[in-house]
Amino acid sequence: MPLNALTPRKLRDRIEARLVELLLSDGFRPGDRLPAERELATLLSVSRGSLRQALVALELDGVVEIRNNSGAYIAPDGLSQAWRRPSGDAPEVPPLDIVLARRMLEPKVARLAATCATDAALATIATSVARFADGGRRYDLRHPEDRGFHVAIAEASGNAAMARLVVALWDMQRGALYERLEDHFSTAAMRDLAIEDHRRISTALAQRDPEASHDAMHAHLDRIHLNLSTSELGPAHSGARPRRSS
């Protein structure tokens, strides 16, 4: 992943932001070891001392664990903690504008992915759905597999420009305004339905059905917009019995 050199202004904060960007976009999992200090410092064009200060700050926030004579590793809940940190680069954008932009883009991305995705990419997408639905963490509003699912579909589309746009829109959702809106109005019932939406999208992709993939993604993002703007949940899936939103 290419990283631009940093200027001295607010250096530690900017190193932290770039490290978080790296962790969220390069397929890291809890327990994974970060690249060696020397390699990271070279990527960021900073001294190892400055890098170490940023890593310690991320350790205090629960993002990484630093092990003596071994290196830095993703903490057990590190990706969720990283997701909770505000984006260092994305400007604050009205939350519903972000969702509407995603609704314009991501259904088209899903349509492309249905025809372009490799079998390995489809397996990654299905695994992401399973991890998102696993246990009590399914109600974590900053669950890394939510973002991971959508980014995996974007990458499977074969269109690098669209994939970068999807990542940029997800980074905008790390703004404080979006997170506060989500905290107030995204209920457990909404998360249950969102997970079912992910399953429907994944199934349509696995069947390599472009229109079903497009429509399932559009319905999913319609639901998110409706929920954040009105607290309504939208239509339930066949056989689903969602709780009413509070």
- What are the tokens at 207? 């069947």
Q: What is the distance between the alpha carbons of residues 8 and 44, in angstroms, rounded to a whole number?
A: 12
Per-residue pLDDT of the chain in tens (246 residues, 90 and over written 9) = 445 554 544 677 888 888 988 888 777 888 999 999 889 989 888 888 888 888 988 998 899 999 988 899 999 888 888 877 766 555 568 889 999 999 999 999 999 999 999 999 999 999 999 988 886 666 777 788 899 999 999 999 999 999 999 999 998 887 777 877 888 777 888 889 999 999 999 999 999 999 999 999 999 999 999 988 888 888 876 444 333 333
Q: What is the distance between the alpha carbons of residues 188 and 137, in angstroms, rounded to a whole number?
A: 11
One DSSP character per residue, the chain reads: ---PPPPSTTHHHHHHHHHHHHHHHTT--TTPBPPPHHHHHHHHT--HHHHHHHHHHHHHTTSEEEETTTEEEE-TTHHHHHHHSPPSSPPP--HHHHHHHHHHHHHHHHHHHHHH--HHHHHHHHHHHHHHHSGGGGG-TT-HHHHHHHHHHHHHTT-HHHHHHHHHHHHHTTSHHHHHHHHHH--HHHHHHHHHHHHHHHHHHHTT-HHHHHHHHHHHHHHHHHHHHH----PPPTT--PPPP-
Q: What is the distance between the alpha carbons of residues 23 and 162, in angstroms, rounded to a whole number?
A: 20
- Threshold 0.75, pTM exceeds: no
Amino acid (1-letter code) at residue 225:
H
